Structure formats: structure tokens, C-alpha cells
């Protein structure tokens, strides 16, 4: 991405920020360009659930005015950003992709949104997602799926398919996602973008609608490692409003990305995350990335993490258990939807609650609430939830042992490229398997990045490579990621997204983005 295209939506966030800083472009111009792009392509892509055009333009104008007045501004001031609809935004609807929150407008901002606004970033709107972030395809959204910009018949990944697709379709240069089991990294992999799940506690969870509190982490979605680094620095760092927030500043991600060096670095390829069950084209692109790093002077060894075999099973006990507790707050009394059952005189609170949840929650959400309630019930708690927590400890120990030998770990991000819409909708376990490679990092709380490794030979679709680092060493991911990205850009003769097919466009009208 260079800053030379006449179309501002093709610019990187870093290039936009540099041009804004010297007054070469205005924030209003940049914002308008992105709103027009949304109006033109989002009817096909459906990355957005809500677009706040007026608020975005007002925020952009405020940045332009502040700059004209010579007031100090953040490094990304005037750059637009899209935010996953699971993050609360004052004055902008927040539904978490669920019917049960239809029409809810939060009275407050999540801490990360406060930081975006304070940094002068311009909120374009809220992006589509699987209901309450449960899913790997965005098909569980109550508002219809998002389509992958590479092939509109395919899934953009999930649960944060909207954020990844918005970035891949040049509707936003940056977006915010959340990753509980892979929902930033897996959509990044299948859309040819960059996504980072920070260390648990590295980005405040205050104002995130909780899925599984011990696993959830918000993080950046972008088209380059450097852009992701810049966004990470804006949203990261200690927040007293989140009791699990790490008492440390945001990682020096930008500096690491600019240094981009891998000489002498020890890299471990995880034996259990690869091989059988991984698409041939995914394996080829992954092996190529490993070779590039070797050529650049990194030392690559194979490491084994035997407990990863049980990660998916443990995750699908821990996540539903926490979710069943977190989602109890949707009781028809406090937020959003309220359904009064038909034909009942003076219904009780329980009857209203049941009718509201029946109508307001989708099948996947109900499935997980039932599973989690069962796993936590007395008599089964030790057998299921307790066992899963023990596995979690074993996985953390596998990582610890591995990081005793190497600086970063590496694997494909996903076993396959983007599958077709509808292909896995009736098979929850097949859908769950999309996250086999991303889930261990959430269970252990460590940071992970997915970056585009190239296109699979058999289908021409993007493949993601995953990098993992020890907790609080997020900066390391940016250093290795940027180095690998530079070599891959050379290998592919430019950004992969330049090869994505042009999207059908609808004539841009302001009404289209109301």
C-alpha cells in the first residue's frame, strides 16, 4: 500500500496518518472517501451493521479543526476505524450480532473506544459478527452473514468477519476485533489481512460484551503489520476499570515493526498444529514462510506441544460455562428486546424472560448456554469444567516448555482457506475445528498474530500464518511479523489484496449509509 493512489481508501493507515499530519489531506476528505466506499460495496459485502456517517464526519471535522489550531494530536488522528459490534459505543447501536440487543444504544464507551476517540480516530461504524462472538463464519449473526471480499460466496471467517471484511474490502483502513478462540486471527487468515490477539490483560475489556471473560481479548485488524502495531499502541495499556488489566503500558509495537529483524531468532514450528487435516495449499504456503525465515537467518526447530490435542475439547467446556453465566444478564428487564408471551394473562417475570430468550437468542447461543449450564451443574462440575481447567494448565505448561527453547512459535492460522457460506452451518463440530490452531493461545493468555502468507494454489484464496509469543512479549510478534511480511511482499510482487477481485459496486448515495 503506498500513499500514491488517487483513491484514499487504498492507502495504509500509516500513510494516511503521515499525509494528515502535514495537511496533504484532511480528515473529512479521508472519512468521506471511506463512507463512499462503504455505500458502494457494503450492500454486497455486508461488513457493517451500523454506519454512523454524521458522527464520523463530525469527528473528522473536529480533528481538522484541532490540527488547524495547532493542538497536539495522536499519531493516528483523522484515520478512520471500524469497531466490532460487541464493543460498547456511546450513541451508536451495539447488538453483538444478536436480536436480543436490537435497538440497544449503550450509554457509555468501552475503554478502548474512549482511547480511539481521544486519539482522534474516526469511528465509521459497527461491524457484523457471529451472535455474541460464537462462531467462525459470521453466519450466526442475527442480521445475515458477511461475505468474503475475495469471493462473495464464501465466509469471511468469524466471529469478527465484519471487521476483517471491512479492512479487506477497503471500507476501513483499520478495525477492532475481539478474539476468544480465534475471532481476530481466523478472519484475518481467510481474508488476507493482519490480525492480532494481544496478551490477555493487554487491552482493556471494560465495555466489551463478555463472551468468556477469561479468554476474551480485543485487538487490531489491519492490512499491514505496521498498521496493526500503530492501532495496538492506541488501544493497549493499563486500565483501572478492568481488574484483569496488566499494569504496564502498551507494547512498543511500532518500533518493533519498523526494526523488523529475525537474524539469530529462534523459531519453533508446532508439530501438533499442521500436517494431516490441513489443506495442501495451506501447508505449502506455511512451509514457504518457514523457509523465508530460515533464509533470513532465523533458526527454526520443531517443537511438540502434546496437550494441544485436548485444547478444542477443553475450550468447548470452558467457553460455554463462562458464556452461560455471562449471558444470564439478558433477562428481558435490562436491555433490548422484551417479548411478552402470547395468550398469557399477567405473565410472570420468568415467562417474559423465557419468551424473550426464546425469540432473542439464536440456535448456537442456546446450544452453548445449555452446554455450559450442564458442565457447571453439581455432579458434573468436576468431570467436565474441572477437567477442562486442568487441561488448560497443561497447555500453558506446553507453551512454557516451548518458549524455554524458542523465541516465537509458528503454525498455519487455520486448517483451510475460506469455506463456502452454508458449508458448515449444520455441523457445529466442523465449524469448531476452524479454530484448532488459534484456541491454545487463548487458553494460555499469550499473544498471537495472523498475517497473509500467500494464496493457496488450488483455490487462489488467502492463507494465514500464525506467530505466537510468550505473554507480554507482543512486540516480538510485530518484529518477526514485519520481517516476514516484507519478504512475502517481495515473493508475491506486492500486497496480496491487490489481487483480490474487484467488488460489485452500487452507486454511492448518502442514503445508503444512513
Helix/strand/coil (H/E/C) assignment for every residue in 114-152: HHHHHCCCEEEEEECCCHHHCCCCCCCCCCCCCCECCEC
Residue 252 DSSP symbol: -
Q: Which region among 40-48, 134-142, 280-288, 414-422 touches ligand GLN (by CB under 6 A)?
A: 134-142
Residue 464 DSSP symbol: E
Between CA 45 and CA 393 the distance in angstroms is 40
Nearer to ligand GLN by Cβ, of 160 and 479: the residue is 160
The grid cell for 511 is 442514503
Q: Which region among 133-141, 225-233, 456-464, 487-495 touches ligand GLN (by CB under 6 A)?
A: 133-141
Nearer to ligand GLN by Cβ, of 52 and 135: the residue is 135
Q: Which of residues 159-178 bind ligand GLN (CB under 6 A)?
A: 159
The grid cell for 373 is 449450564
The grid cell for 229 is 502495531
- Name the active-site residue from 183, 204, 321, 324: 183
Residue 134 as a binder of ligand GLN (CB under 6 A): the answer is yes
Q: Which region among 7-15, 130-138, 260-268, 403-411 touches ligand GLN (by CB under 6 A)?
A: 130-138
197 assigned to active site: no
Residue 413 as a binder of ligand GLN (CB under 6 A): the answer is no
159 assigned to active site: yes
Strands (E), 166-286: 174-179, 194-197, 217-222, 266-270
Residue 135 as a binder of ligand GLN (CB under 6 A): the answer is yes
Residue 468 as a binder of ligand GLN (CB under 6 A): the answer is no
Return the residue of 128, 183, 224, 307 that touches ligand GLN, per CB under 6 A: 183
Beta carbons within 8 Å of 149's beta carbon, 6+ residues apart:
41, 45, 156, 165, 168, 169, 191, 500, 503
Q: Residue 214 Cβ, how far from ligand GLN at the closest point, in Å?
A: 13
- Name the active-site residue from 12, 98, 159, 450: 159
Between CA 352 and CA 349 the distance in angstroms is 5
Q: Which of residues 308-367 bind ligand GLN (CB under 6 A)?
A: 319
Helix/strand/coil (H/E/C) assignment for every residue in 398-433: HHHHHHCCCCEEEEECCCCCCCECCCCCCCHHHHHH
Helix/strand/coil (H/E/C) assignment for every residue in 254-267: HHHHHHCCCCCCEE
The grid cell for 429 is 463440530
- Name the active-site residue from 84, 126, 197, 424: 84
Residue 408 as a binder of ligand GLN (CB under 6 A): the answer is no
Nearer to ligand GLN by Cβ, of 38 and 210: the residue is 210
The grid cell for 379 is 455432579
Nearer to ligand GLN by Cβ, of 317 and 451: the residue is 317
Q: Residue 209 Cβ, how far from ligand GLN at the closest point, in Å?
A: 11
Q: How does DSSP assign 341-409, residue by residue? A: PTT-SS--HHHHHHHHHHHHS-HHHHHHHHHHHHHHSTTTTIIIIIHHHHHHHHHHHHHHHHHTT-SEE
Return the residue of 145, 181, 445, 454 that touches ligand GLN, per CB under 6 A: 181
For residue 40, CA distances in Å to 8, 35, 36, 148, 479 come to: 15, 9, 6, 16, 36
From residue 197 to residue 226, what is the string marking binding to ligand GLN with x (rule CB under 6 A)? --------------x---------------
Q: Residue 220 Cβ, how far from ligand GLN at the closest point, in Å?
A: 15
Q: Residue 431 Cβ, how far from ligand GLN at the closest point, in Å?
A: 7
From residue 436 to residue 455, what is the string marking binding to ligand GLN with x (rule CB under 6 A)? --------------------
183 assigned to active site: yes
**Enzyme catalytic residues:** 84, 159, 183
Residues that bind ligand GLN (CB under 6 A): 133-136, 159, 179-183, 211, 319, 435
Amino acid at each position: 500500500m503506498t500513499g500514491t493512489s488517487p483513491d484514499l481508501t487504498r492507502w495504509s493507515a500509516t500513510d494516511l496518518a503521515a499525509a494528515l499530519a502535514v495537511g496533504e489531506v484532511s480528515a473529512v476528505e479521508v472519512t468521506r472517501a471511506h463512507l463512499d466506499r462503504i455505500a458502494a460495496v457494503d450492500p454486497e459485502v455486508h461488513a457493517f451493521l451500523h454506519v454512523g456517517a454524521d458522527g464520523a464526519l463530525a469527528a473528522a471535522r473536529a480533528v481538522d479543526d484541532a490540527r488547524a489550531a495547532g493542538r497536539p494530536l495522536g499519531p493516528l488522528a483523522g484515520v478512520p476505524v471500524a469497531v466490532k459490534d460487541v464493543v460498547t459505543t456511546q450513541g451508536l447501536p451495539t447488538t453483538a450480532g444478536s436480536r436480543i440487543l436490537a435497538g440497544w444504544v449503550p450509554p457509555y464507551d468501552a475503554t478502548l473506544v474512549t482511547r480511539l476517540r481521544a486519539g482522534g480516530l474516526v469511528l465509521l461504524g459497527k461491524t457484523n459478527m457471529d451472535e455474541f462472538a460464537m462462531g467462525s463464519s459470521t453466519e450466526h449473526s442475527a442480521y445475515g452473514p458477511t461475505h468474503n471480499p475475495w469471493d462473495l460466496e464464501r465466509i469471511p471467517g468469524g466471529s469478527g468477519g465484519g471487521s476483517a471484511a471491512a479492512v479487506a474490502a477497503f471500507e476501513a483502513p483499520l478495525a477492532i476485533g475481539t478474539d476468544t478462540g480465534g475471532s481476530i486471527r481466523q478472519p484475518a487468515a481467510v481474508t488476507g489481512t493482519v490480525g492480532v490477539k494481544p496478551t490477555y490483560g493487554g487491552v482493556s475489556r471494560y465495555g466489551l460484551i463478555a463472551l468468556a471473560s477469561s479468554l476474551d481479548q480485543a485487538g487490531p485488524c489491519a492490512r499491514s503489520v505496521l498498521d496493526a502495531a500503530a492501532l495496538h499502541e492506541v488501544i493497549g495499556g493499563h486500565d483501572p476499570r478492568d481488574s484483569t488489566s496488566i499494569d504496564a503500558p502498551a507494547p512498543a509495537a511500532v518500533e518493533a515493526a519498523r526494526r523488523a529483524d529475525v537474524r539469530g531468532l529462534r523459531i519453533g514450528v508446532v508439530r501438533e498444529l499442521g500436517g494431516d487435516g490441513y489443506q495442501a495449499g495451506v501447508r505449502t504456503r506455511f512451509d514457504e514462510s518457514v523457509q523465508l525465515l530460515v533464509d533470513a537467518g532465523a533458526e527454526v526447530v520443531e517443537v511438540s506441544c502434546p496437550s494441544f490435542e485436548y485444547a478444542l475439547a477443553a475450550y468447548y467446556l470452558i467457553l460455554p460455562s463462562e458464556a452461560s453465566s455471562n449471558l444470564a444478564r439478558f433477562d428481558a428487564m435490562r436491555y433490548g428486546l422484551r417479548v411478552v408471551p402470547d395468550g398469557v394473562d399477567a405473565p410472570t417475570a420468568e415467562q417474559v424472560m423465557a419468551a424473550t430468550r426464546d425469540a432473542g437468542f439464536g440456535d448456537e447461543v442456546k446450544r452453548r448456554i445449555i452446554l455450559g449450564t450442564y458442565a457447571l451443574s453439581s455432579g458434573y462440575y468436576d468431570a467436565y469444567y474441572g477437567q477442562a481447567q486442568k487441561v488448560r494448565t497443561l497447555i500453558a505448561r506446553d507453551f512454557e516448555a516451548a518458549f524455554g527453547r524458542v523465541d516465537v512459535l509458528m503454525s498455519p492460522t487455520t486448517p483451510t482457506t475460506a469455506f463456502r457460506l452454508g458449508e458448515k452451518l449444520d455441523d457445529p463440530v466442523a465449524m469448531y475445528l476452524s479454530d484448532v490452531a488459534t484456541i491454545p493461545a487463548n487458553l494460555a493468555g499469550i499473544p498471537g498474530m495472523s498475517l497473509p502468507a500467500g494464496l493457496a494454489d488450488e483455490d487462489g484464496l488467502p492463507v494465514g500464518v500464525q506467530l505466537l509469543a510468550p505473554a507480554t512479549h507482543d512486540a516480538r510478534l510485530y518484529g518477526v511479523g514485519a520481517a516476514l511480511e516484507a519478504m512475502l511482499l517481495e515473493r508475491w510482487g506486492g500486497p496480496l489484496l491487490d489481487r483480490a477481485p474487484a467488488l460489485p459496486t452500487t452507486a454511492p448515495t448518502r442514503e445508503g449509509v444512513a
